[in-house]
Chains A and B, each alone.
Chain A
Amino acid sequence: MKVFFGKHGFILILVAIFVLIFGLGGVYSRFMTSELEEHIEENATGAEYALYLEMFPGADTLTPYTPGEVSKTYPLAGGRGDFAPTVDKALKILQGTSEKGVVYVINTKGKEPMKVGVGISLENDACVGIAVLEQNDTPDYFSQLGDPFYSQFDAKALSDLALAVDTFAGVTYSSKAFEIALFYARELYAADYDFVIPTVAMTLVKLEYNFDPTTFIASPYIANIIYGDQDTEAAVMLSASFDYVGLVGGGTDLEADFQAAVKALAQGAGTLNTQASFVSFDEENNTLVMQTKGYNPNAIQASIVLNDTLDIVVSITFVSMETYANQGGYGDYTGGPAPAVENNLRNQYLADGDPNVDGVAGATVSSNAVRSLLQLLDGFVEAQNGGE
């Protein structure tokens, strides 16, 4: 043994050192990687917390806490069903030892999942800011949300019954995500603090499109409601953003609380597809102009000629700037340029009168948009014919 180690000892030592370095080096490398990941996370958290502190001038500390459990669902934009937001974390905002507000980090959803932080001031029960932490919505649309949109969250009283977010034109899906987050934050705030969400006695019986050519531009929707202590029934006209416009057929306007309530209920209903809308109606030429939102930020516009009794579609002409590539359809789009898809769906509709036309492969977004327009048009035509 002694002879063996005398002859081969040093090489065994070399091998041992090699193995030792291999093992310890691996541990050291792993330590470096995990530390780097931790540093990145710490930095991201630091940047995130700085955003929250900015919402509360003078605040200097954040303390995570466990919020009350609240389970609510809200309709997604575009009639895509209901969504249940969740709270990622909650933070108390302190100035010294004095509690100034709270931030709820909420998992919401626009077109895709989104994470936002909603800051609420304890001093006046108002939303004082909103911070986008993660979002995956279509960049072309989401980037349109600028300061005018975000500034509405700088002082938004939670006592406002409707608490509606002013939707940015063309970015309805993402706008809705903020509204869901705001509504859910109010529910969490009510559960955690001494705050009561305002309520008004009102039931939304029905929400439908307004097919009256004389009023449908200013008031594209009609809501049938029952409200007040006396269960009063009313049909009210609503704007494209569900603001109260007036009673159908005129009469004394609803009080402000009821106006806000009907807006909140209509916004929350999510039963109408708001993708397509009426633009104008030329009574002399029986020409209806409609639009619908597809993939391109510029809406698809359709000029529709009807017969004299307005119950038969004579022709539909599209003006479109759609680009069909990369619309998330099944398979690649192989047809011609715009308005090829629009015309395809139009021809299907004109052939059999069924507005539930088949989409074109590779142009799913545009197809859905045109289908919405045809469905709205079909409803209009049916309405002119007494529903026959």
Chain B
Amino acid sequence: MARFAGGKAPFLRISDQPNQGTGIIMRDFMIGLAPVILFSWYKNGIQVMIDGNIGFFEMLYPLIFILLGGLMSLIMEGITLYIIHPDSRSLKGVMAKLSTSYPMVPGLLLAMVLPLYTPVWVLIFGCFMGTVVGKMLFGGFGHNIFNPALIGYLTIAVTLTGVINAAGGVFNASEVLVDSYAGATPLTLLSRIKELDYDKLVAPYGTLWNFFLGTIPGALAETGALAILVSYGWLVYRKVIKWFTPLIYVGTVFVLSWFIGIASGEPGIWFPLYSILSGGLMFGAVFMATEPVTTPRNPLGKVVFALFLGVFTVLFRYISTLPEGVATSIVFLNIFTMPIDNWTAVIRARGIKKQTAIKASVFAVLFIALVLYAILKAGSMYTAFIQGPIGIGGWF
């Protein structure tokens, strides 16, 4: 029984049938990325050119940059395969391996979570860290422990943030002219002022409607909540991802943010909405927390994984000095994917019984302890609280 605990019977072999298998999944995943890529291009390129703030070649940059990320990952994986597999040193051999390993995905995702003015060499460095170090050195697709794109992202965040800021940073040529932004994204602002004040956190960027549409400053593709939701719908429809993983992840952040707000002085329901619409949470929830290799495979494992992701994102975001928290929490929890997968598979197969109760209790106690700590600690750190607009109409 334990042999089959990682999945749920019946095990249908359909991956070798026409129109099934990884090729189709990859195609659907790429289609899922398209709305977010196009939104990113529109927001940081087309719209800025319409505003009259950039020229044609600058308008193309966001799209080229993202596609370049995918291409660089593909090339690096190809070169790595050539080096480490002497038996496949031919175009045909390498292509055969590439066709089943999602080679472009790490680079594409990485480029999408980087600031617009990231120099291309920084992107290439990130692709190297993600694809070669984060993926290929672990054995390639299916063997990597960490999300490759996020390995690249975190390496860049730790070592090259100054280079990116010197090259222009996160603001596009229209946003950089808006005085009210004061050079800060919404989450950077929160980490600076430590005040849950609608007038300071939301009003400079418009309303929460702007947060939903994605017309606020942020990394290339992370701000477009609406576009991400469209992608989410497609990926769920095509069964590329499980519908509940992003929902539980975002929902946990929403509820915890709400309680943190209450513990800190009740700023209003706008704050949890601000919390889930800011930064890369939505993007990470849909495209990274659902990654098939580095996250648990069984549904209960996915639920537990998503719950803990939510808690750790809140912890990193509101208690540490990191303004974002999504990438760190996903990579951190990648470490625990296997134990979560194993334990939850057993619990799922056997139910809550004497043998599994301890495992379930460990999850529950750990989760509750972290939740309480997050609420109490963050609640004590954010001291100034001012009510947002009364009624939902004021937020949008």
Contact = CB atoms under 8 A, between A and B. Distances in A.
Interface of A: 7-8, 10-11, 14-15, 17-18, 21-22, 25-26, 28-33, 35-37, 39-40, 43
Nearest to B74: A14
Contact of B72 (A8, A21, A26, A28): A21
A40 to B, nearest CB: 6
Given A8-B89, A22-B121, A36-B168, A14 B177 contact: no
A115 to B, nearest CB: 19
B11 interface: no
A290 to B, nearest CB: 42
B119 A26 contact: yes
A11 B77 CA distance: 11
B120 A26 contact: yes
B61 A28 contact: yes
Contacts of B124: 21-22, 25
B64 A35 contact: no
A22 B121 CA distance: 6
A35 B121 contact: no
Contacts of B89: 7-8, 11
A10 B71 contact: no
Given A32-B61, A39-B53, A25 B167 contact: no
B90 interface: yes
A32 B118 CA distance: 10
B168 A32 contact: yes
Interface string B73-99: 001101100100000011100100000
A43 B176 CA distance: 10
Contact of B68 (A14, A25, A36): A25
A18 B75 contact: yes
B57 A36 contact: no
19 contacts: A11-B89, A14-B78, A17-B75, A18-B72, A18-B75, A25-B120, A25-B121, A25-B123, A25-B124, A28-B57, A31-B57, A32-B167, A32-B168, A33-B117, A33-B168, A35-B55, A35-B58, A36-B168, A39-B54
Interface string B97-138: 000000000000000000001111101100000000000000
Interface string B255-295: 00000000000000000000000000000000000000000
B120 A15 contact: no
B331 interface: no
A40 B121 CA distance: 24
Which A-B residue pairs are the 7 nearest by beta carbons?
A25-B120, A29-B119, A10-B91, A36-B168, A33-B167, A29-B120, A11-B82
Tell me which of A7, A8, A35 has the highest count of chain B C-beta atoms within 10 A of its own C-beta. Answer: A35
Contacts of B90: 7, 10
A35 B48 CA distance: 13
Given A21-B72, A35-B55, A28 B64 contact: yes
A251 B72 CA distance: 92
Nearest to A32: B61
A10 B168 contact: no
Contacts of B123: 25
Contacts of A7: 89-90
A214 B173 CA distance: 65
Nearest to A37: B168
Nearest to B91: A10
Name B's interface SS. Answer: helix
Nearest to B52: A39
Contacts of B176: 36, 39-40
Nearest to A8: B89
A22 B119 CA distance: 10
A18 B54 contact: no
Nearest to A35: B58
A36 B78 contact: no
Contacts of B75: 14, 17-18, 21
Nearest to B95: A10
Given A18-B76, A25-B121, A32-B58, 17 more contacts: A10-B91, A10-B94, A11-B78, A11-B79, A14-B75, A21-B72, A22-B121, A25-B119, A28-B57, A28-B64, A29-B120, A32-B167, A35-B55, A36-B168, A39-B54, A39-B176, A40-B177
Nearest to A15: B79
Nearest to B176: A40
Given A14-B79, A28-B64, A36 B173 contact: yes
A31 B72 CA distance: 20
A48 to B, nearest CB: 14
Nearest to A39: B173
Tell me which of A7, A17, A25, A43 has the highest count of chain B C-beta atoms within 10 A of its own C-beta. Answer: A25
Interface string B167-180: 11000010011000
Nearest to B172: A36
B64 A29 contact: no
A33 B119 CA distance: 9
Given A14-B75, A21-B120, A43 B177 contact: yes
A215 to B, nearest CB: 51
Nearest to A29: B119
A18 B121 CA distance: 11
Contacts of B79: 11, 14-15, 18
B68 A21 contact: yes
Nearest to B79: A14
Nearest to B72: A21
A17 B79 CA distance: 11
Contacts of B58: 31-32, 35
A209 B217 CA distance: 59
A30 B119 CA distance: 7
A43 B174 CA distance: 10
B303 to A, nearest CB: 41
A8 to B, nearest CB: 7
A49 B224 CA distance: 36
Contacts of A8: 89
A22 B167 CA distance: 16
A267 B176 CA distance: 43
Nearest to A25: B120
A38 to B, nearest CB: 10
B117 A36 contact: yes
Contacts of A43: 53, 177
Nearest to B81: A11
Contact of B71 (A21, A26, A33, A35): A21
Nearest to B55: A35
